Amino acid sequence: MSPKRVLVTGASGMIGSALAPALAAAGCAVLRLDRRPRPGGTPGAQLKWDPAAGVIAREPLEGLDAAVHLAGASLAGGRWTPARRALLVESRVGSLRLLARTLGALERPPRVLVSASAVGIYGDRGDELLSEASGPGTGFLAELAQAWEQAAEPAARRGIRVVAMRFGLVLAPRGGVLAPLLPLFRLGLGGHAGTGRQWLSWIALDDLIAALRHALADESLGGPVNAVAPGAVTNRELARVLARVLGRPAWFAAPAWALRLALGRMADELLLASQRVEPVRLLASGFSFRFPALEPALRHVLAAA
């Protein structure tokens, strides 16, 4: 059943600013939960919250049909110092825990809570094919994603259907994984990272928005769901295809040691880790990808850039 009144956190971010208009166009009343409400822009009524202080208005949330939690500081927003890691944890785990507790305490809770998670939960797994049945890996991102998903437990205990959407790398016209790559590739300075053999699991933004809406409506979905296209590629293949789409060469490579020197621990987990993830549960639920292959996805995304 498609929801009619939907709460969206992180509505001003890359994914939220695409999801909110899509929901509004489908006839949903969108309520935006923002730390700094701003006029105009993304559709929907705005409500202020302060996850760090544990402040959230409960009364306006009564009678929601669904909630989508997308809030969280950018993983690539700076070196992973202890302070930055703490911010990444609090902005995801703390905010979701507050939201889940609040929704679970409502007299009329929503039927479903769809929350962002990440394929980083699988850690660095080489060539292993990974599904939702695969266990978690090791490392900061794996631990963060596990805590992130567990933070929704208060909502699940209340009987709210909870879906943890494990996002892959999002291909979007602005922002996402392409933002730092496009300037280099357009100058002919692009190439692969490290050996280039590591697997990357990705999804086009349009497919991700459709998958989120599918998860809201499909009552058979609950628990972890891999939000990735069925065609994972290696880092080297991503570089080759992106260069071909742009009509530029991809002769350069960033050695692992240089990436580690520049980015520290973030390089190992964001750029050099290998995650070959399959969208088993999405496909089993009848979801159809518009862009299952990388090159058509990149051509579509870059045409909108």
The count of structural domains within the chain is: 1
pLDDT-derived band at 3 (thresholds 50, 70, 90) equals: confident
Are the CB atoms for 272 and 194 separated by under 8 Å?
yes
Q: Would residue 164 count as lying in a domain?
A: yes
Select the more confidently predicted residue: 185 or 37.
185
Structure-block tokens of residue 62: 């009564």
Q: Which has the minimum average pLDDT: 64-68, 74-78, 94-98? A: 74-78
Domain around 33: 5-168+203-228+276-290
Whether residue 26 contacts residue 213, with contact meaning beta carbons closer than 8 Å, is answered with: yes
Cα separation, 62 vs 103, whole angstroms: 8
Q: Does 248 fall in a domain? A: no
Query: What would the two tokens of residue 195 be?
Result: 């050996």
> Mean per-residue pLDDT for 137-158?
96
How far, in Å, CA of 230 to CA of 180, rounded?
24
- Residue 7's alpha-carbon distances to 3, 19, 92, 118, 135, in angstroms, are 10, 11, 16, 21, 30
- The proportion of the chain whose per-residue pLDDT surpasses 70, expressed as a percent, equals 97
pLDDT at residue 41, as a whole number: 54
Q: CATH number, domain at 128?
A: 3.40.50.720
The answer to whether residue 30 sits within a structural domain is: yes
Question: What's the gap between Cα 170 and its chain centre?
Answer: 7
pLDDT tier for residue 40 given thresholds of 50, 70 and 90: low
Q: Is the pLDDT of residue 184 over 80?
A: yes
Residue 9 is predicted with a pLDDT of: 95
The more confidently predicted of residues 294 and 76 is 294
Residue 84 is assigned to a structural domain of this protein:
yes
- Give pLDDT tens digits for 161-172: 999 999 999 999
Mean pLDDT of 27-56: 80
Nearest Cα to 229, choosing from 283, 162, 155? 283
In 3D space, the residue among 60, 154, 142, 162 whose CA is nearest the CA of residue 108 turns out to be 60
pLDDT at residue 35 greater than cutoff 90: no
- Tell me if 302 is assigned to some domain: no
Please choose, from the candidates 77, 24, 86, 144, the residue with its C-alpha nearest in 3D space to the C-alpha of residue 136. Answer: 144
